Amino acid sequence: MTTAKLLFTPGPLTTSATVKAAMLRDAGSRDRDFLETVREIRERLLALGGAEPNAAGEYECVLMQGSGTFAIESVISSAIPREGRLLVLVNGAYGRRIAQMARVHGIEIETAEAPENRQFSPEAVAERLTASRSITHVAVIHCETTTGILNPIQAIGAAVERAGAAYIVDAMSSFGAIPLDLAAAHIDFLISSANKCIEGVPGFGFVLARRARLLEAKGRARTLSLDLYAQWAGFESDGQFRFTPPTHTLLAFRQALVELEAEGGVAGRAARYSTNHAVLMRGMAELGLEAYLAPEDQSYIITAFRYPEHAQFRFEDFYGRLSELGFIIYPGKLTSAPCFRIGTIGRLSPSDIDALLVGIRRVLQEMGVAPGIRAVHFSGAGGCASAQ
Protein backbone atom coordinates (compact mmCIF):
# COMPACT_ATOMS: atom_id res chain seq x y z
CA MET A 1 0.00 0.00 0.00
CA THR A 2 1.27 3.47 -0.89
CA THR A 3 2.09 5.58 2.17
CA ALA A 4 -0.08 8.68 2.53
CA LYS A 5 1.76 11.94 1.95
CA LEU A 6 0.96 15.45 3.12
CA LEU A 7 0.03 17.78 0.26
CA PHE A 8 1.44 21.31 0.57
CA THR A 9 -0.33 22.33 -2.62
CA PRO A 10 -3.25 24.59 -3.62
CA GLY A 11 -5.44 21.59 -4.48
CA PRO A 12 -5.98 18.74 -4.64
CA LEU A 13 -4.99 18.92 -1.02
CA THR A 14 -4.86 16.91 2.17
CA THR A 15 -8.37 16.02 3.33
CA SER A 16 -9.72 14.75 6.64
CA ALA A 17 -10.38 11.08 7.26
CA THR A 18 -14.07 11.86 7.70
CA VAL A 19 -14.29 13.60 4.31
CA LYS A 20 -12.71 10.55 2.69
CA ALA A 21 -15.00 8.23 4.66
CA ALA A 22 -18.08 10.04 3.33
CA MET A 23 -17.33 8.52 -0.08
CA LEU A 24 -17.57 4.94 1.19
CA ARG A 25 -21.14 4.54 0.07
CA ASP A 26 -22.87 4.70 -3.28
CA ALA A 27 -25.60 7.17 -4.15
CA GLY A 28 -28.12 7.18 -6.95
CA SER A 29 -28.03 10.37 -8.96
CA ARG A 30 -31.85 10.62 -8.93
CA ASP A 31 -32.35 9.36 -5.39
CA ARG A 32 -34.26 11.65 -3.04
CA ASP A 33 -31.52 11.68 -0.40
CA PHE A 34 -28.86 12.55 -2.96
CA LEU A 35 -30.97 15.37 -4.42
CA GLU A 36 -31.37 16.74 -0.90
CA THR A 37 -27.59 16.70 -0.56
CA VAL A 38 -27.26 18.71 -3.78
CA ARG A 39 -29.86 21.22 -2.60
CA GLU A 40 -28.10 21.61 0.76
CA ILE A 41 -24.72 22.14 -0.90
CA ARG A 42 -26.10 24.88 -3.15
CA GLU A 43 -27.66 26.69 -0.20
CA ARG A 44 -24.56 26.42 1.98
CA LEU A 45 -22.35 27.81 -0.79
CA LEU A 46 -24.59 30.83 -1.25
CA ALA A 47 -24.44 31.50 2.48
CA LEU A 48 -20.63 31.35 2.41
CA GLY A 49 -20.71 34.13 -0.19
CA GLY A 50 -22.95 36.27 1.98
CA ALA A 51 -25.99 35.58 -0.20
CA GLU A 52 -28.59 33.93 1.97
CA PRO A 53 -30.65 31.38 0.01
CA ASN A 54 -33.96 32.72 -1.30
CA ALA A 55 -33.08 36.26 -0.20
CA ALA A 56 -34.91 37.94 -3.07
CA GLY A 57 -33.11 35.50 -5.37
CA GLU A 58 -30.24 37.92 -6.01
CA TYR A 59 -27.69 35.11 -6.39
CA GLU A 60 -27.91 31.52 -7.56
CA CYS A 61 -25.54 28.57 -7.16
CA VAL A 62 -24.73 26.36 -10.15
CA LEU A 63 -22.67 23.19 -9.72
CA MET A 64 -20.64 22.04 -12.73
CA GLN A 65 -18.96 18.66 -13.25
CA GLY A 66 -15.20 18.67 -13.85
CA SER A 67 -12.29 20.63 -12.45
CA GLY A 68 -12.41 24.28 -11.50
CA THR A 69 -11.16 25.13 -14.98
CA PHE A 70 -14.33 23.53 -16.42
CA ALA A 71 -16.45 25.80 -14.23
CA ILE A 72 -14.51 28.88 -15.34
CA GLU A 73 -14.92 27.91 -18.97
CA SER A 74 -18.65 27.41 -18.41
CA VAL A 75 -18.88 31.08 -17.41
CA ILE A 76 -16.60 32.42 -20.14
CA SER A 77 -18.36 30.41 -22.87
CA SER A 78 -21.90 31.05 -21.56
CA ALA A 79 -22.07 34.55 -20.11
CA ILE A 80 -20.52 36.65 -22.88
CA PRO A 81 -22.72 37.37 -25.91
CA ARG A 82 -21.47 37.08 -29.50
CA GLU A 83 -21.06 40.86 -29.67
CA GLY A 84 -19.45 41.05 -26.20
CA ARG A 85 -15.88 42.00 -25.37
CA LEU A 86 -13.93 40.63 -22.40
CA LEU A 87 -11.17 42.42 -20.50
CA VAL A 88 -8.91 39.93 -18.70
CA LEU A 89 -6.68 41.21 -15.90
CA VAL A 90 -3.49 39.15 -16.05
CA ASN A 91 -0.77 38.98 -13.39
CA GLY A 92 -0.10 35.24 -13.51
CA ALA A 93 -0.69 31.96 -15.31
CA TYR A 94 -4.36 31.64 -14.41
CA GLY A 95 -5.29 35.01 -15.87
CA ARG A 96 -3.51 33.93 -19.04
CA ARG A 97 -5.58 30.73 -19.03
CA ILE A 98 -8.84 32.71 -19.00
CA ALA A 99 -7.62 34.74 -21.96
CA GLN A 100 -6.79 31.51 -23.78
CA MET A 101 -10.29 30.14 -23.11
CA ALA A 102 -11.86 33.26 -24.59
CA ARG A 103 -9.73 33.02 -27.72
CA VAL A 104 -10.67 29.36 -28.21
CA HIS A 105 -14.35 30.36 -28.15
CA GLY A 106 -13.84 33.25 -30.56
CA ILE A 107 -14.62 35.90 -27.96
CA GLU A 108 -13.14 39.34 -28.53
CA ILE A 109 -10.75 40.13 -25.72
CA GLU A 110 -8.41 42.72 -24.36
CA THR A 111 -5.79 41.96 -21.74
CA ALA A 112 -4.39 44.29 -19.11
CA GLU A 113 -1.15 42.92 -17.72
CA ALA A 114 0.64 43.64 -14.46
CA PRO A 115 3.93 42.15 -13.25
CA GLU A 116 3.54 38.81 -11.49
CA ASN A 117 4.61 40.39 -8.20
CA ARG A 118 2.17 43.32 -8.35
CA GLN A 119 -1.49 43.59 -7.47
CA PHE A 120 -3.80 45.25 -9.97
CA SER A 121 -4.52 48.89 -9.31
CA PRO A 122 -8.28 49.62 -9.22
CA GLU A 123 -7.51 53.10 -10.58
CA ALA A 124 -5.67 51.61 -13.57
CA VAL A 125 -8.59 49.26 -14.23
CA ALA A 126 -11.03 52.20 -14.10
CA GLU A 127 -8.88 54.13 -16.58
CA ARG A 128 -8.78 51.14 -18.92
CA LEU A 129 -12.56 50.79 -18.79
CA THR A 130 -13.00 54.48 -19.54
CA ALA A 131 -10.67 54.23 -22.52
CA SER A 132 -12.29 51.03 -23.88
CA ARG A 133 -16.01 51.57 -23.67
CA SER A 134 -16.79 48.48 -25.76
CA ILE A 135 -15.85 46.16 -22.85
CA THR A 136 -18.88 44.26 -21.56
CA HIS A 137 -17.22 41.82 -19.14
CA VAL A 138 -14.15 41.91 -16.89
CA ALA A 139 -12.39 38.85 -15.45
CA VAL A 140 -9.83 38.77 -12.63
CA ILE A 141 -8.19 36.18 -10.38
CA HIS A 142 -8.71 36.79 -6.65
CA CYS A 143 -5.76 34.74 -5.35
CA GLU A 144 -3.41 34.15 -8.29
CA THR A 145 -1.88 30.81 -7.37
CA THR A 146 1.09 31.44 -9.63
CA THR A 147 2.48 33.42 -6.68
CA GLY A 148 -0.19 33.62 -3.98
CA ILE A 149 -0.77 37.32 -4.63
CA LEU A 150 -4.19 38.77 -3.74
CA ASN A 151 -5.87 41.19 -6.12
CA PRO A 152 -8.18 43.84 -4.55
CA ILE A 153 -11.39 42.43 -5.99
CA GLN A 154 -13.80 44.68 -4.09
CA ALA A 155 -12.22 47.93 -5.27
CA ILE A 156 -11.87 46.56 -8.80
CA GLY A 157 -15.50 45.47 -8.67
CA ALA A 158 -16.61 49.00 -7.84
CA ALA A 159 -14.81 50.27 -10.95
CA VAL A 160 -16.38 47.56 -13.09
CA GLU A 161 -19.85 48.36 -11.79
CA ARG A 162 -19.39 52.07 -12.51
CA ALA A 163 -18.49 51.15 -16.08
CA GLY A 164 -21.64 49.06 -16.44
CA ALA A 165 -19.74 45.85 -17.22
CA ALA A 166 -20.28 42.37 -15.79
CA TYR A 167 -17.70 41.17 -13.27
CA ILE A 168 -16.23 37.65 -13.30
CA VAL A 169 -14.03 36.59 -10.36
CA ASP A 170 -11.95 33.40 -10.28
CA ALA A 171 -11.93 32.70 -6.54
CA MET A 172 -10.59 29.19 -7.01
CA SER A 173 -7.93 29.36 -4.31
CA SER A 174 -9.59 31.81 -1.94
CA PHE A 175 -13.28 30.98 -1.50
CA GLY A 176 -13.96 29.45 1.88
CA ALA A 177 -10.82 30.79 3.54
CA ILE A 178 -10.74 34.52 2.73
CA PRO A 179 -13.84 36.47 3.84
CA LEU A 180 -15.83 37.64 0.83
CA ASP A 181 -19.24 39.19 0.26
CA LEU A 182 -20.57 38.81 -3.28
CA ALA A 183 -22.74 41.92 -3.30
CA ALA A 184 -20.20 44.15 -1.53
CA ALA A 185 -17.57 43.16 -4.09
CA HIS A 186 -20.02 43.79 -6.97
CA ILE A 187 -19.44 40.26 -8.29
CA ASP A 188 -21.69 38.89 -11.03
CA PHE A 189 -20.02 35.50 -11.41
CA LEU A 190 -17.75 33.90 -8.81
CA ILE A 191 -16.12 30.55 -9.58
CA SER A 192 -14.43 28.08 -7.24
CA SER A 193 -13.88 24.36 -6.82
CA ALA A 194 -14.61 21.48 -4.44
CA ASN A 195 -10.98 20.63 -3.79
CA LYS A 196 -9.64 23.94 -2.54
CA CYS A 197 -10.22 25.79 0.72
CA ILE A 198 -13.46 23.97 1.55
CA GLU A 199 -11.27 20.82 1.68
CA GLY A 200 -13.31 18.48 -0.48
CA VAL A 201 -12.01 16.18 -3.20
CA PRO A 202 -11.77 16.89 -6.96
CA GLY A 203 -14.77 16.34 -9.22
CA PHE A 204 -16.77 19.54 -9.60
CA GLY A 205 -16.62 23.30 -9.53
CA PHE A 206 -19.33 25.82 -8.74
CA VAL A 207 -20.51 29.24 -9.85
CA LEU A 208 -22.24 31.79 -7.63
CA ALA A 209 -24.02 33.99 -10.15
CA ARG A 210 -26.11 37.11 -9.91
CA ARG A 211 -29.54 35.93 -11.01
CA ALA A 212 -30.10 38.76 -13.49
CA ARG A 213 -26.78 38.06 -15.23
CA LEU A 214 -27.51 34.33 -15.27
CA LEU A 215 -30.86 34.92 -16.98
CA GLU A 216 -29.08 37.03 -19.59
CA ALA A 217 -26.94 33.98 -20.44
CA LYS A 218 -29.88 32.00 -21.81
CA GLY A 219 -29.11 30.99 -25.38
CA ARG A 220 -25.55 32.35 -25.33
CA ALA A 221 -23.67 29.11 -24.58
CA ARG A 222 -21.05 27.99 -27.07
CA THR A 223 -21.03 24.41 -25.75
CA LEU A 224 -23.64 21.85 -24.70
CA SER A 225 -22.16 20.36 -21.54
CA LEU A 226 -20.83 23.67 -20.16
CA ASP A 227 -24.04 25.65 -20.73
CA LEU A 228 -24.27 27.52 -17.42
CA TYR A 229 -27.87 28.69 -17.83
CA ALA A 230 -29.11 25.22 -18.88
CA GLN A 231 -27.32 23.64 -15.91
CA TRP A 232 -29.03 26.06 -13.52
CA ALA A 233 -32.41 25.59 -15.19
CA GLY A 234 -32.05 21.85 -14.73
CA PHE A 235 -31.43 22.24 -11.01
CA GLU A 236 -34.40 24.56 -10.71
CA SER A 237 -36.75 22.19 -12.55
CA ASP A 238 -35.99 18.87 -10.85
CA GLY A 239 -32.93 19.34 -8.62
CA GLN A 240 -30.80 17.14 -10.87
CA PHE A 241 -27.61 17.48 -12.87
CA ARG A 242 -28.23 17.36 -16.62
CA PHE A 243 -25.51 14.74 -17.03
CA THR A 244 -23.98 12.16 -14.67
CA PRO A 245 -22.92 13.91 -11.44
CA PRO A 246 -19.77 13.08 -9.42
CA THR A 247 -21.83 11.47 -6.66
CA HIS A 248 -19.02 10.45 -4.33
CA THR A 249 -17.34 13.85 -4.64
CA LEU A 250 -20.60 15.55 -3.67
CA LEU A 251 -21.02 13.32 -0.61
CA ALA A 252 -17.48 14.20 0.47
CA PHE A 253 -18.12 17.90 -0.16
CA ARG A 254 -21.20 17.95 2.03
CA GLN A 255 -19.08 16.55 4.86
CA ALA A 256 -16.38 19.11 4.13
CA LEU A 257 -18.95 21.90 4.46
CA VAL A 258 -20.06 20.51 7.81
CA GLU A 259 -16.44 20.49 8.98
CA LEU A 260 -15.90 24.05 7.74
CA GLU A 261 -18.85 25.21 9.84
CA ALA A 262 -17.55 23.28 12.87
CA GLU A 263 -14.18 25.02 12.53
CA GLY A 264 -15.83 28.41 12.82
CA GLY A 265 -16.68 29.01 9.19
CA VAL A 266 -14.51 31.13 6.93
CA ALA A 267 -13.06 33.06 9.89
CA GLY A 268 -12.02 29.89 11.68
CA ARG A 269 -10.43 28.40 8.60
CA ALA A 270 -8.67 31.66 7.82
CA ALA A 271 -7.19 31.66 11.31
CA ARG A 272 -5.69 28.16 10.93
CA TYR A 273 -4.35 28.85 7.45
CA SER A 274 -2.88 32.16 8.62
CA THR A 275 -1.09 30.40 11.48
CA ASN A 276 0.21 27.74 9.07
CA HIS A 277 1.53 30.47 6.82
CA ALA A 278 3.18 32.40 9.66
CA VAL A 279 5.00 29.24 10.80
CA LEU A 280 6.13 28.55 7.23
CA MET A 281 7.42 32.08 6.58
CA ARG A 282 9.33 32.20 9.85
CA GLY A 283 10.88 28.79 9.27
CA MET A 284 11.80 29.41 5.63
CA ALA A 285 13.48 32.70 6.59
CA GLU A 286 15.53 30.83 9.20
CA LEU A 287 16.56 28.40 6.46
CA GLY A 288 17.69 31.29 4.28
CA LEU A 289 14.98 30.78 1.65
CA GLU A 290 13.48 33.95 0.16
CA ALA A 291 9.79 34.51 -0.67
CA TYR A 292 9.08 35.93 -4.10
CA LEU A 293 6.40 38.42 -3.04
CA ALA A 294 6.60 41.34 -0.66
CA PRO A 295 4.84 40.51 2.65
CA GLU A 296 2.07 43.06 2.07
CA ASP A 297 1.08 41.35 -1.22
CA GLN A 298 1.28 37.76 0.03
CA SER A 299 -1.78 35.64 0.85
CA TYR A 300 -1.80 32.82 3.37
CA ILE A 301 -2.95 30.37 0.68
CA ILE A 302 0.23 29.55 -1.25
CA THR A 303 3.70 31.09 -1.29
CA ALA A 304 6.34 31.14 -4.03
CA PHE A 305 9.98 30.81 -2.90
CA ARG A 306 13.00 31.59 -5.03
CA TYR A 307 15.43 28.79 -5.81
CA PRO A 308 18.53 28.88 -3.58
CA GLU A 309 21.45 30.46 -5.41
CA HIS A 310 23.61 27.36 -5.33
CA ALA A 311 25.04 25.26 -8.15
CA GLN A 312 23.96 22.02 -6.43
CA PHE A 313 20.26 22.92 -6.29
CA ARG A 314 18.04 21.04 -8.74
CA PHE A 315 14.32 21.35 -8.20
CA GLU A 316 13.55 17.84 -9.48
CA ASP A 317 15.96 16.37 -6.95
CA PHE A 318 14.63 18.62 -4.17
CA TYR A 319 11.04 17.65 -5.01
CA GLY A 320 11.81 13.94 -5.21
CA ARG A 321 13.66 13.82 -1.89
CA LEU A 322 10.83 15.69 -0.12
CA SER A 323 8.31 13.31 -1.66
CA GLU A 324 10.25 10.34 -0.30
CA LEU A 325 9.94 11.92 3.15
CA GLY A 326 6.17 12.22 2.69
CA PHE A 327 5.87 15.89 1.66
CA ILE A 328 4.45 17.05 -1.70
CA ILE A 329 5.09 20.65 -2.74
CA TYR A 330 4.34 22.48 -6.00
CA PRO A 331 6.64 23.50 -8.87
CA GLY A 332 6.70 27.13 -9.96
CA LYS A 333 4.75 28.75 -12.81
CA LEU A 334 6.48 32.12 -12.89
CA THR A 335 7.80 33.53 -16.15
CA SER A 336 10.16 35.98 -14.42
CA ALA A 337 11.99 33.94 -11.76
CA PRO A 338 12.72 30.28 -10.92
CA CYS A 339 10.56 29.43 -7.91
CA PHE A 340 8.80 26.58 -6.17
CA ARG A 341 5.54 26.94 -4.27
CA ILE A 342 4.27 25.72 -0.90
CA GLY A 343 0.59 25.72 0.00
CA THR A 344 -0.63 26.14 3.56
CA ILE A 345 -4.25 25.09 3.00
CA GLY A 346 -6.02 21.76 3.36
CA ARG A 347 -6.18 19.60 6.47
CA LEU A 348 -2.79 20.80 7.72
CA SER A 349 -1.78 22.08 11.14
CA PRO A 350 1.20 24.13 12.32
CA SER A 351 2.88 20.90 13.46
CA ASP A 352 2.67 19.65 9.86
CA ILE A 353 4.42 22.83 8.73
CA ASP A 354 7.09 22.23 11.37
CA ALA A 355 7.64 18.73 10.02
CA LEU A 356 7.94 20.04 6.46
CA LEU A 357 10.56 22.58 7.56
CA VAL A 358 12.62 19.84 9.17
CA GLY A 359 12.32 17.86 5.94
CA ILE A 360 13.45 20.82 3.83
CA ARG A 361 16.48 21.40 6.05
CA ARG A 362 17.44 17.75 5.83
CA VAL A 363 17.04 17.61 2.03
CA LEU A 364 19.05 20.77 1.42
CA GLN A 365 21.85 19.44 3.59
CA GLU A 366 21.81 16.08 1.78
CA MET A 367 22.00 17.91 -1.56
CA GLY A 368 24.97 19.91 -0.35
CA VAL A 369 23.09 23.11 -0.98
CA ALA A 370 23.26 24.52 2.51
CA PRO A 371 25.32 22.32 4.81
CA GLY A 372 25.57 25.11 7.36
CA ILE A 373 21.82 25.62 7.80
CA ARG A 374 20.90 25.91 11.45
CA ALA A 375 18.99 22.97 12.88
CA VAL A 376 15.22 23.45 13.18
CA HIS A 377 13.59 22.21 16.37
CA PHE A 378 9.96 21.84 17.36
CA SER A 379 8.54 23.93 20.15
CA GLY A 380 5.86 21.32 20.74
CA ALA A 381 2.77 20.03 18.97
CA GLY A 382 1.23 22.79 16.96
CA GLY A 383 4.03 25.17 17.90
CA CYS A 384 6.29 27.21 15.70
CA ALA A 385 9.68 26.08 14.48
CA SER A 386 12.73 27.70 16.02
CA ALA A 387 16.40 27.61 15.04
CA GLN A 388 19.66 27.57 16.90
pLDDT at residue 372 greater than cutoff 50: no
pLDDT at residue 381 greater than cutoff 70: no
Write the class of the CATH domain 17-262: alpha beta
pLDDT at residue 278 greater than cutoff 50: yes
Chain segment 230-257, per-residue pLDDT in tens: 999 999 999 999 999 999 999 999 999 9
* CB 181 within 8 Å of CB 46: no
Better-predicted residue by pLDDT, 212 or 1: 212
pLDDT at residue 382 greater than cutoff 60: no
Amino acid letter at 151?
A: N
What percent of the chain lies above the pLDDT cut of 70? 93
**Euclidean distance between the first and the last CA atom of the chain, given in angstroms as a whole number:** 38
- Mean pLDDT value of segment 265-293: 97
What is the pLDDT confidence band of residue 122, given thresholds at 50, 70 and 90? very high
Q: What is the pLDDT of residue 376?
A: 36
Chain segment 327-339, per-residue pLDDT in tens: 999 998 887 789 9
pLDDT at residue 343 greater than cutoff 80: yes
Better-predicted residue by pLDDT, 380 or 196: 196
What is the pLDDT confidence band of residue 37, given thresholds at 50, 70 and 90? very high
Is 264-387 the same fold as 17-262? no
Alpha-carbon gap, residue 319 to 356, rounded angstroms: 12
Domains of the chain by residue range: 17-262, 264-387
Q: What is the pLDDT of residue 378?
A: 30
pLDDT at residue 1 greater than cutoff 70: no
Q: What is the pLDDT of residue 243?
A: 97
- Mean pLDDT value of segment 257-270: 98
Q: What is the pLDDT of residue 335?
A: 76
- Mean pLDDT value of segment 372-379: 38
Q: What is the pLDDT of residue 53?
A: 58
- Mean pLDDT value of segment 335-350: 94
Residue 148, phi-psi category: left (phi > 0), alpha (psi -120 to 50), beta (remainder): left
Q: What is the pLDDT of residue 334?
A: 82
264-387 CATH, one of 3.30.70.20, 3.90.1150.10, 3.40.190.10, 3.30.565.10 = 3.90.1150.10
- Specify the pTM: 0.92
